[in-house]
Amino acid sequence: MTNDLLRTGRDDIVLRPYDSGMLDEVVTAANHPEVARYMADRFPFPYTVDDGEQWIDHASSQDPTRSYAVVWNGEFIGGVGYETFEAELNGTVEMGWWLTPSAWHQGIMAVAARALMDDLFENRGAMRIEAPVMHANPNSGRVAEKIGMTFEGVAPSRYVKHGVRYDQLNHGITKAQWESTR
Ligand SMILES: CC(C)(COP(=O)(O)OP(=O)(O)OC[C@H]1O[C@@H](n2cnc3c(N)ncnc32)[C@H](O)[C@@H]1OP(=O)(O)O)[C@@H](O)C(=O)NCCC(=O)NCCS
C-alpha cells in the first residue's frame, strides 16, 4: 500500500502523496531562498506556480509514491522523498528533505524522515539508505543522525550549487544497522 499516506506515530505529522489541490501551499512553502540554498539546483528560487505544477505533476504520477508532502496539523510544510539507484546499487536508496522555514527547529523532519526510512526498510526492499548533505548545512546532517544514520565521511568538492563546488558529508544506514536498533 505504498501510495497511501504514511503515518509517523504522531497524529499531527503525516506524509501524503502530492495532489494538485496542494499547489498554492507548495509554492508558498517552497518559495524561500533559505530553503533552496542547500537543495539540488533543480529546486529553484524564486519558486513559481509553474515550478509547483511541474513538481506536483511529477510527484503525483509516481508509482509507487517516492515523494511525500509533509503535512503538519493539516498544513503542507515541506517534502521528504527518495530516489532509487539501478542495477548494481539495487536496494540502495537516497533520501532528501526540506521544510518551510517557519517549521524549522522543532524536530519535525526527524519524525517525517524516520517514518519514510522505516517504510523503506520494512516494505520497499531497501538495503541501504543514504543522505548526502552539503558541508555548509549541518542542520540536515543532524536530521540524518537523529534518525540513526552514521556519518560516513566527506567527499571533497562533490556537490555543485549554482556553479560553486562544496564538500559533501555522507550519512548512511544499512538494513542490518537499522534492525539492530529495533
Ligand atoms: C534540514 C531541515 C529539513 C531540518 O529540519 P528541522 O525539522 O528543522 O530539523 P531539527 O528541528 O531536527 O533541527 C536540526 C538541527 O538544527 C539545529 N537547530 C535547532 N534549533 C535551532 C535554532 N533555534 N537555531 C539554530 N539551529 C537550531 C540543531 O543543531 C538541530 O539539531 P539538534 O536538535 O540535535 O540540536 C531544514 O533546516 C530545512 O528544510 N532546510 C532547508 C532545506 C534543506 O537544506 N534540506 C536538506 C538538503 S540536504
What is the average pLDDT across 104-122? 98
Is it the case that residue 2 has pLDDT exceeding 80? no
By alpha-carbon position, which residue is closest to atom 21 of ligand 1? 105
By alpha-carbon position, which residue is closest to atom 30 of ligand 1? 139
Coil, strand, or helix at residue 10? Answer: coil
What is the average pLDDT across 92-113? 98
Per-residue pLDDT tens digits for 146-172: 999 999 999 999 998 888 999 999 999
Residue 173 contacts residue 128 (beta carbons within 8 Å): yes
Q: Is 21 exposed, middle or buried (0-12, 13-18, 19+ CB in 10 A)?
A: exposed
Residue 169 CA to ligand 1 center (angstroms) comes to 15
Residue 86 CA to ligand 1 center (angstroms) comes to 30
Atom index in ligand 1 nearest the CA of residue 34 equals 41
Residue 109 contacts residue 80 (beta carbons within 8 Å): yes
Atom index in ligand 1 nearest the CA of residue 131 equals 48
Atom index in ligand 1 nearest the CA of residue 35 equals 41
By alpha-carbon position, which residue is closest to atom 44 of ligand 1? 38
The grid coordinates listed for 144 are 540524518
Report the alpha-carbon distance of residue 166 to residue 182 in Å, rounded.
35
The domain 6-180 is classified under which CATH number: 3.40.50.300, 3.40.630.30, 3.40.50.2000, 3.40.640.10? 3.40.630.30
pTM score, whole prediction: 0.95
Domain extents in the chain: 6-180
Q: How many CB atoms lie within 10 A of CB 155?
A: 14
Per-residue pLDDT tens digits for 30-51: 999 999 999 988 899 999 999 9
The grid coordinates listed for 82 are 527518495
